[in-house]
Amino acid sequence: MVRFKHRYLLCELVSDDPRCRLTLEDRVLVGLIRDTIARVHGTFGAAACSIGFAGTIRTCQKFLIQYNRRQLLILLQNCTDEGEREAIQKSVAKSCLLEESSEEEGASDSGGEEAAEAMAS
Amino acid sequence: MEFEESWSQRIMRIDPSDYHYMKVCLEFEEHGIGLNAAQFKQLLVSALQELFGEVGAALPFDVLTYEEKTLKAILRVCNSGFVKLWSSLTMLGSYKGNKCAFRVIQVSPFLLALSGNSRELVLD
């Protein structure tokens, strides 16, 4: 039986203007992507991607948060300067707090344990 | 009673054609609207662009013959783009504000088959 399979693409937005990162919102990005698909693939493409599109962006965001948290831990282990170390420790602690509050909503994560181990070392 | 022996032969093609040929006719709701060959091809490209976007508009197809008086044409398209072209013709509804529709008269992987159409035969 042929099933619909989901594919996730994690992309990085590259721009000349560094300020555009601050103004770019979730909904704006979704709208831009939909417009581009409509232009390149027409009415057929826009209809094909309209189902469950917003949900896939959320899943990519969740993965990106986990990935960035792991990168922070790696940086923490490798950094030599004390000031940098404190700054990274603060960022990791902040991300763990956010993670705990999202865990209450029901998302399962093992990042918190890794962070606690790294901070202790 | 004697039965005459008869035999029949069936020929199978091993290498089918890479293209599909379509005999189509453009019908307008109002009479008196004409298109030349270039405008006709542009109409088809814009129909593909409407439904399938830039990718669809880049689909290579050829207008082999075109009759300006009857607005009939024979199109050739590669097999991979056949469904896209036919569905674009189906969804085309207007040209420069005039309502129109494409009638697909005949379709075949072989051009020779378009020379005869049993549906156009009239019984006397």
Give B96-118 pLDDT, tens digit per residue.
999 999 999 999 999 999 998 88
Nearest CA in chain A to B91: A43
Q: What is the pLDDT of residues B72-81, one digit of tens each?
A: 999 999 999 9
Rounded Cα distance, A87 and A117, in Å: 17
Instruction: Check whether residue A47 and residue A62 sit in a common domain.
Output: no
My answer on whether A1 and A33 are in the same domain is: yes
Mutate to test the interface with A, among B45, B48, B52, B91 (most CBs of A within 10 A): B52
Do the domain assignments include residue A117?
Answer: no
- For residues A32 and A12, what is the distance between their CA atoms, to the nearest angstrom? 15
Looking at the structure of chain A, the number of domains it has is 2
Check CB contact under 8 Å for B49 and A38.
no
Range of the domain at A13: 1-55
| Rounded mean pLDDT, B88-103 | 94
3 state DSSP class of A33: helix
Which ipTM value was assigned to this complex? 0.70
Picking from B55, B59, B85, B87 by the largest number of A CB atoms within 10 A of its own CB, the best residue to mutate is B55
| Residue A9 and residue A49 in one domain | yes
**Could you report the per-residue pLDDT of B30-42, keeping only the tens digit for each?**
988 999 999 999 9
Co-location of A4 and A49 in the same domain = yes
Q: Is residue A34 located within the same domain as residue A62?
A: no
User: Is residue A46 a part of any domain in this protein?
Assistant: yes
DSSP string, B84-99: HHHHHHHH--EETTEE
The predicted structure's pLDDT at residue A16: 84
Is A74 among the domain residues?
yes
Give the pLDDT mean for B43-51: 96
